[in-house]
Amino acid sequence: MISQVFILSSKGDHLIYKDFRGEAGKDAVNKFYEMVTALTGGQPPVVMKHKELHFVHIRQGGLYWVATTKADASPFTIIEFLNRLTALVKDYCGCLSEKSVQMNFALIYELLDEVVDFGYIQTTSTDILKNFIQTEAVSSKPFSLFDLSNVGLFGADTQQNKVAPSAAATRPIVSSQGEQGGKNEIFVDVIERMSVVIGANGVLMKADIEGEIRVKCYMPSCSEMRIGLNEEFSIGKSQLSGYGAAVRVDECSFHQAVRLDEFDTYRILKVCPSQGEQTVMQYQLCDDLPTAPPFRLFPSIERDSGGRYRTLFIHVPLSLRQSLFSYSAAINVSITIPVPKGSLRLSQELSSPDQSAELQPKNKAVHWEIPRFPGGAQLSALFKLEVSGLSAASLQEVGPVSLNFELPKYTSTGLQIRFLRLSPIQPGPSQRWVRYVTHSDSYTIRI
Amino acid sequence: MTDSKYFTTTKKGEIFELKAELNSDKKEKKKEAVKKVIASMTVGKDVSALFPDVVNCMQTDNLELKKLVYLYLMNYAKSQPDMAIMAVNTFVKDCEDPNPLIRALAVRTMGCIRVDKITEYLCEPLRKCLKDEDPYVRKTAAVCVAKLHDINAQLVEDQGFLDTLKDLISDSNPMVVANAVAALSEIAESHPNSNLLDLNPQSINKLLTALNECTEWGQIFILDCLANYTPRDDRESQSICERVTPRLSHANSAVVLSAVKVLMKFMEMLPKDLDYYGTLLKKLAPPLVTLLSAEPELQYVALRNINLIVQKRPEILKHEMKVFFVKYNDPIYVKLEKLDIMIRLASQANIAQVLAELKEYATEVDVDFVRKAVRAIGRCAIKVEQSAERCVSTLLDLIQTKVNYVVQEAIVVIKDIFRKYPNKYESVIATLCENLDSLDEPEARAAMIWIVGEYAERIDNADELLESFLEGFHDESTQVQLQLLTAIVKLFLKKPTETQELVQQVLSLATQDSDNPDLRDRGYIYWRLLSTDPVAAKEVVLAEKPLISEETDLIEPTLLEELICHIGTLASVYHKPPSAFVEGSRGVMHKRLPARTGSGEGTECPDVGNAAGGSAPEAAPSIIPSQGDLLGDLLNLDLAPPTTTGPTPSTSGMQMGGMDLLGGGLDSLMDESEPPHVPLQTDPPQSPSPQPPSPVYTHTDYTYTDYSHTDSPPDHSSTEHSPPAELGGDIGGSPAMGAGFGAAPTVMPASLNAPVGGGLGDLFDLGGGVGMPMGAYIPPKTVWLPAMKAKGLEISGTFARRAGVIQMELVLTNKAMSVMTDFAIQFNRNSFGLAPAGPLQVLTPLGPNQTIEVSLPLSTVGPVMKMDPLNNLQVAVKNNIDVFYFSCQYPISMLFVEDGKMERQVFLATWKDIPNDNESQFQIQDCHLNSEAASNKLQGSNIFTIAKRTVEGQDMLYMSIKLSNGIWVLAELKVQAGNPNYTISLKCRAPEVSQCVFQCYEAVLKN
């Protein structure tokens, strides 16, 4: 049972405050801000307690979304709820920011009133809610179709957040009747996150993929959408992969609105998309990847004991697999190499001018950035580190190397969307966008 | 134009401006004005002055405006109750509106106006809305019943809303069902004994059907409600499980966790050999693994729950070790939780993998994480014997890095490894000694000193090493000081010739120059041991230590069971029972797992060990408190140096004098207030210092020898081995006992002269071992029913507990003129379910002026209803003339059962576990018993003394009581010699019994 819900800006300004049960005072808001800003790194900030009041919060769009409770409530429910609430606000207001929340406070209060009653969560489905909501959203930017040139990912919270949100996907789902033309659009994203651990001997120790298919729909009249996946898509560990072309995942879960009657035979997901954004399908694949991991790295380390300071040479040749990427490139690649604690100076040899590398003494790491990495290429870097008090044991402090990257137009499981059909046939022009991306979740190579 | 402008204005006269705008004729302007008002409200400005103007805007067709006005009303109605009444008419009218949105809006808002006056107007509209044709209105009305109940519970009952709500469970719309279930569940929580949510197979079936159609949030309400149901048998349990299992693949993690909770609970009832049981186990793993791919916030909450599940049923996740490997970009709080689970899942099968991971973690950047990783390596060594060697070599590698905190952690865990595998890895000591200088944390220093002392004979320069620590003795923490003292004594016993000076130095530092009673007492014990019987000293100090056990930080089984019942809630994140952090009556109900049917165990909790795949039952792992010692905590013994000044040397001199009576004194030394010497009597050459000859040395049968054959209690072993525990391990107790011993010379005669050889352990057995139990206290008979009121029948009586049977002893006197026959008796429902166990045995007719004494055995299995006062009993007695009613109060002591003696460890854990709010303190005046007599007397009434401690002449008795309904009451009785006023503190999970228990104490002690 939720007692209060409030939204705070990162500076602690009260943006939204709603009390559902009259059990706790408004001073809880300031108390929360005090507690959350006083947290030290090691403390889990998820659930906090002050006297009889428990705070659960998430951070999204630079804002604190907080729910409080006095009962032994379920933090899962509350976190899920807060995530949905952010999604709803995003759907209704277009994007999540201090400004959009402030501009639409009346709308958000109205939403909260319908979504939660006396602390019981009622519904978070935009389809149901749009029957009740009266307030019009106020959009911060006028929408223009020309922005579509730089269509990025609308939802994929990529690690660096460097993909610019496209205006197309950041407008409110329900907008005034005026601009009817050109807004019949549907976006489908296939996003995969990759976790890989490669051992010191080059053996792949662990490789996991977590993927999801997300749909954002701007079609008011669409009653059913059929998403066709690869026909050879299979679920489960035991199934034989046939002729090797199969796309396989271990586990799969679907949104409540997905009907699976054609899934078993034709691999078709039938969705009745409500307007707004939703995750239609989530899937995982552990260990048994269909292809080798995209990056290989063979670092070598040498120690030179001459000179005043002892020097450490770290040679990092990095290659991106050719076969898949002859037409594509990895972007925003960054490589972090932990180095011994006494590292003082770094000198480097990089293979192209757009790359950069620096020593971050606070994190005891060398940070190497490559903005664009063409498929099949091989880059290498040589780092020379001056380390005070270098000993044999210092070598143990080097590594593991971690990589962050994005691979657009690529899914590592091989999952593809064969087709996207809408019924009834949409009047007027309709746009369907399908995008793929794989990005790193935790990609480490041990030394 | 955007709404953000509303936040910007704070000029004077703003209120007036708004007032004017609110009263404007233009709708748009009004709406804008109300928005401004709400914006001000949000940022915390007081706009209550505008109440009448805003309420005026209420009557409008514009739904958007109406909603805004209602929003305002909900916020300010409470502060302006009279004004709120103004709005009532509009509400009532809106409840009749043809538009269901408006009807629902009105009933929802009315419920949120928490003003008592408004409730009477609410009843009629609510009644209509509960039966509304539109499900949206009905589901809103269902919640409104819960709101109203929160404001005025009586009204809700009187108006019969609860029955309507119950009917809604069978509603055709799943949303309505879900809200009805949620509302009923909440109302039921405040009425623990009512069966509002009458869960039976039929209603469960309805809920299961609704489960498939509900929204995800509705599913959570229903699943949580299901979790409170106890199926009749394993069949029903299985069928419910089968219908809940599909929820495990839901995308909403809250639904998944609620389903896991139901399954974990109902699984308990399934026989292990059932195929379905295995299937279920397999089905539980994937959803739990899936949770780990969520946002870090959810991951953390999930990991805390998985930690519980792994302790309860390790087999579920035993093949999933890899998913708990940390990712470098996990937040630190997720990393630490994962590490914890990794160790719990570590086994011979996966240890190689785990160790490789841990070694990687140990070189990461984050200090907390690295420390925990190093510690985890040590725990692996202790848990999986085959891996010990590799763990040790890994640790040595890490020590080579010379990273300060890594080295210190490694030394702490290596000490534990030595204790688990003695005489196996001592070859590494040399490496450890190289790092002596870098140790700056007390725990690491203490561990290192322990190692040096323990293996003094193999370390050539052990004396130099220890001496180097001794230089800064006073600057060390107590932990290190205690350890150093013990280590030097060990060294002395091993190499007596070279280290005499050292031992004298440390003993004098500990006994003379220290304010810390723990340290001083330990110093004195060693001193006297060495001076009287060095052979015994050797046996005591160098006794073989018990091996430490492998599992650490396990949650106590009963708590674990309760937490399993609360999977997915805050309790499972805090790892504390809800009673510890939820106020009010909600926490009183303790949930338990159902018993396995057919096992014949009754409600006995299933063995934690039996979770391992149905093979031969493993021994239940002994539970080790994670830090320090419970007893130490309980007795408020601060193990750090005391902030208040301890007893001054003169008092300790006096205490020593007291000890002298026992046969071994150091009085001469003390009285001369010279630097004390170590009088040595044995094979090593005579101490060079002059020894004042004293007759006390001839007492060789000094009672301290008792300690030498005290085995360390096996439950005492601890990997978080704190130095005070070291002494405890040696002399058979816990650190507090060291202190208790030293400070308690006055009680020592009893225990020391006792023929039993339990040493200090006997202190804790005083009640049972030494005392002579007396009979239970029976209050004198009182007149319950005067003859005046009962047509000549007078009843007096009392209650007694004899041989475990509760008896009601009645005296019936016939003061009427006619003969009385056909006696019968009945009790009303009462707090502890007392009921006659047989008929009232009055066989012969009772003639005029005749008296008969009857004894009626009582059972405690009757219907229960909470009475006020708690021990009130309403009785009806019938005879051939009429039925008579009276009520009496029974002493709660007759409900104290014979097996109410709690294990010491359990007592300590329970005492800590019960929140301090549940503690109540009472004074018992004018009681002239000493603590021992009191303890004996109380034991006669099944109040058991578990431990006794004396602090500065005040005896503290720790007692436990178990009531016939299984409630435990823990007590601490403070008795000060010469002071007739006792202080008693009672702790109980059901604090309402405390008052009654206190009355019993008073009655028992004063009679």
Comparing CA positions, the residue from B212, B204, B205 lying closest to residue B228 is B204
What is the pLDDT averaged over residues B488-503?
A: 87
Q: Is A270 left (phi over 0), alpha (psi -120 to 50) or beta?
A: beta
| Nearest-CB residue to A279 (from B175, B251, B397) | B251
Chain B: residue whose CA lies nearest to A84 = B252
Q: Of B185, B106, B116, which Cα lies nearest the Cα of B141?
A: B106
Q: Which of A338-347, B351-360, B386-395 has the lowest mean pLDDT?
A: A338-347
Rounded-to-integer distance, Cα B400 and Cα B180, Å: 65
Q: Cβ–Cβ of B251/A21 closer than 8 Å?
A: no
Residue A232 has a pLDDT of 80
B290 touches chain A (CB under 8 A): yes
Asked if B315 is an interface residue toward chain A (Cβ–Cβ < 8 A), one would say no
Q: Which of A140, A163, A137 is nearest to A151 (CA)?
A: A163
pLDDT number for residue A327: 60
Confidence of residue A67 (pLDDT cuts 50, 70, 90): very high
Q: Is B734 on the interface with A (CB under 8 A)?
A: no
Residue among A54, A9, A46, A2 nearest A28 (CA): A54
Contact B300 A44 (CB under 8 A): yes
* pLDDT exceeds 50 at position B510: yes
Mean pLDDT of A366-390: 81
Q: For B298, which of A1, A79, A125 is closest by C-beta distance?
A: A79
In this prediction, residue A292 has a pLDDT band, given cuts at 50, 70 and 90, of: confident
Q: How many CA atoms lie within 13 A of B945 on its CB side?
A: 31
Q: For residue B838, what pLDDT is reported?
A: 83
From the list A52, A120, A393, which residue is nearest B400 (CB)?
A: A393
- Looking at per-residue pLDDT, the higher value among A9 and A363 belongs to A9
Residue B756: pLDDT band (50, 70, 90) is very low
- Check CB contact under 8 Å for B290 and A284: yes
- Nearest CA-CA distance, residue A113 and chain B, Å: 9
What does the pLDDT average to over B574-583? 82
CB contact (8 A) between residue A444 and residue B179: no
Give A405's contacts in chain B (Cβ within 8 Å). Answer: none
pLDDT at B339: 92
* Average pLDDT over chain B, rounded to an integer: 76
pTM across the whole model: 0.64
Question: Cβ contact (<8 Å) for A135 and B333?
Answer: no
How would residue A141 be classed by pLDDT, with cut points 50, 70 and 90?
low
Instruction: Find chain B residues with C-beta within 8 A of A287's C-beta.
Output: 322
Query: What digits encode the pLDDT tens for the residues B795-849?
Result: 888 888 887 888 888 888 888 878 888 888 888 888 888 888 888 888 778 888 8
Higher pLDDT, B443 or B917: B443
At A78 the pLDDT is 93
Interface probe for A, chosen from B329, B332, B367, B579 (most Cβ of A below 10 Å), is B329
Q: In this complex, which of B300, B325, B569 lies closest to A46 when CB atoms are compared?
A: B300
Work out the average pLDDT over A100-121. 90
Lowest mean pLDDT among A117-121, B25-29, B601-605, B926-930: B601-605
Whole-angstrom Cα distance, residue A267 to residue A206?
28
On whether any CB of chain A is under 8 Å from the CB of B8, the answer is no
pLDDT at B201 over 90: no
B698-721: per-residue pLDDT in tens? 333 333 333 333 333 333 333 333
In terms of pLDDT, which residue wins out, B520 or B861?
B520
pLDDT band at A183 (very low <50, low <70, confident <90, very high): low
User: Of A421-435, B268-282, B402-416, which gets the smallest average pLDDT?
Assistant: A421-435
Residue B377 has a pLDDT of 92
Roughly how many angstroms between the first and final C-alpha of chain B, as a whole number?
84
| Residue A298 main-chain phi, psi, to 5 deg | -125, 75
Distance in Å, alpha carbon of A14 to nearest chain B alpha carbon: 6
With beta carbons less than 8 A apart as the criterion, state whether B65 and B30 touch: yes
Is residue B64 predicted with pLDDT exceeding 70? yes
Question: Would you say the C-alpha torsion B205, B210, B212, B217 has a positive or negative sign?
Answer: negative
Please tell me which of the candidates A44, A106, A132 has its beta carbon nearest to residue B68.
Answer: A106
pLDDT at B685: 39
- The alpha-carbon gap from A104 to the nearest alpha carbon of chain B, in Å, equals 6
Per-residue pLDDT at B695: 35
Tokens 């207001």 sit at which residue? A93
Residues on chain B touching A15 (C-beta within 8 angstroms): 42
Helix (H/G/I), strand (E/B), else coil: A65: strand
Report cis status (omega within 30 of 0) of the bond before A424.
yes
Facing A72 at nearest CB: one of B108, B146, B570:
B570
- A296 sits in which H/E element: strand A295-297
Mark which residues 197-256 of B lie under 8 Å from A by CB.
Answer: 215-217, 220-221, 224, 249-254, 256
User: Where does the pLDDT of residue A245 fall: very low under 50, low under 70, confident under 90, or very high at 90 and above?
Assistant: low
Q: Is the dihedral of CA B310, B315, B317, B321 positive or negative?
A: positive
Query: How many Cβ contacts (< 8 angstroms) between chains A and B?
Result: 233
Hey, CA dihedral for B115, B118, B124, B126, is it positive or negative? negative
pLDDT value of residue A108: 92
Task: State the average pLDDT over residues B722-743.
Answer: 38
Band (pLDDT 50/70/90 cuts) for residue B590 is: low
Q: What pLDDT, on a 0 to 100 scale, did the predictor assign at position B748?
A: 37
Rank A105-109, A370-374, B47-51, B929-933 by mean pLDDT and report only the highest.
A105-109
Residue type, B693: P
How far is A428 from chain B, CA to nearest CA, in Å?
31
**pLDDT for res B90:** 84
- Chain A partners within 8 Å of B9 (Cβ): none
| Residue scoring higher pLDDT (B632 or B569) | B569
Q: What is the DSSP letter of B711?
A: P
B955 compared with A64, residue with greater pLDDT:
A64
Average of per-residue pLDDT across B933-941: 83
Position A343 confidence tier, pLDDT thresholds 50, 70, 90: confident
pLDDT above 90: residue A94? no
Inform me whether the C-beta atom of residue B182 falls under 8 Å from chain A C-beta atoms. yes
| 3-state helix vs strand vs coil in chain B, percent to 5 | 55, 10, 35
Going by pLDDT thresholds of 50, 70 and 90, the confidence category of residue B302 is very high
On whether any CB of chain A is under 8 Å from the CB of B431, the answer is no
Its ipTM equals 0.70
Q: How would residue B341 be classed by pLDDT, with cut points 50, 70 and 90?
A: very high
Residue A320's pLDDT is 61
User: What's the gap in Å between the CA of B550 and the closest CA on chain A?
Assistant: 27
Task: Grade residue B324 by pLDDT with cuts at 50, 70 and 90.
Answer: very high
Q: What are the φ and ψ backbone dihedral angles of A299, each rounded to 5 degrees? A: -75, 145
B5 — pLDDT class (breaks 50, 70, 90): low
Confidence class of residue A412 from pLDDT cuts 50, 70 and 90?
A: confident
Higher-pLDDT residue of B752 and A115 is A115
Residue B215 distance to chain A (closest CA, Å): 7
Task: For strands A431-445 and A185-198, give the pairing.
Answer: parallel
pLDDT at residue B223, as a whole number: 92
Q: What is the mean pLDDT of chain A?
A: 78
pLDDT of residue B262: 93
Cα A369 to Cα A334: distance, rounded to the nearest angstrom: 4
B258 has pLDDT over 90: yes
